[in-house]
Amino acid sequence: MLYGIKALLGKESLQYMIVVFSKCKRKQTETPELLEDSWDKNIHEFVNSVGWRWAISPNPDIFEQDHPVHKQHIDELKSKIVTLKGIYTNDILKDVKKRQEEAERRRMEEEEKRKREYDEIKKKEGEARAEVNFLKQKREEDERLRLEEEREFVILVHELNKRINDLSEENRSLRSKNEEGCLIL
């Protein structure tokens, strides 16, 4: 209830309000403390939010207009009305609506800003993921190329060792023939 009033009329409207209880039971009207004791937390909070300005409008089915209890409560209500400082006007309502619209505009701008930031983060994360994937693929490709070069190097070393061995064997064979040829002469 309190939130709805503040949302509709603005919190400043509370300074122009008096809570008036009607259709109260005879004992509650004759002893307002009994009525006050029956309030739940929400009513207590509402009455407190309007500056503890509250009154009882006597039930005309129980109290005639000339009854002293009726007169007492009506006089108390009149007194509270007279002591209010000002009245809630259309200008105040217009100001409240203008502030509410401005607050809503700012809220929408903030929401749009958060969405843009979220989209940017999402985009950057996408770019970051793409970069991570790219770097991972590059590392994998570099490792594959390194292993391939290593295998080629091992094959080349093996071929060179074989060629060296072949040449060494051929060299021994030629020396051996050369030595035999020298002995024959």
Q: Who contacts 51 (Cβ-Cβ below 8 Å, separation ≥6)?
A: 14, 15
Average pLDDT for 15-26: 93
Q: 185: pLDDT confidence band, cut at 50, 70 and 90? A: very low
Q: Who contacts 21 (Cβ-Cβ below 8 Å, separation ≥6)?
A: 28, 35, 54, 55, 56, 57
Per cent of the chain over pLDDT 70 is 96
Instruction: Map 52-92 to HEC letters.
Output: CCEEEECCCCCCCCCCHHHHHHHHHHHHHHHHCCCCCCHHH
Q: Mean pLDDT of all residues in the chain?
A: 88
Phi, psi dihedrals of residue 87, rounded to the nearest 5°: -135, 155
**What per-residue confidence (pLDDT) applies to 109?**
94
Q: 182: pLDDT confidence band, cut at 50, 70 and 90? A: low
Sole residue written with tokens 């004791």? 37
Q: Which helix H or strand E contains 150, and what residues bound it?
A: helix 90-184
Per cent of the chain over pLDDT 90 is 52
Q: 178: pLDDT confidence band, cut at 50, 70 and 90? A: confident
For residue 47, CA distances in Å to 42, 69, 78, 117, 137 come to 9, 22, 18, 44, 69
Q: Count the alpha carbons within 13 Å of 102 in the hemisphere toward its beta carbon.
A: 6
pLDDT at 134 over 90: no
pLDDT at 56 over 70: yes
Per-residue pLDDT tens digits for 64-90: 999 999 999 999 999 999 999 889 999
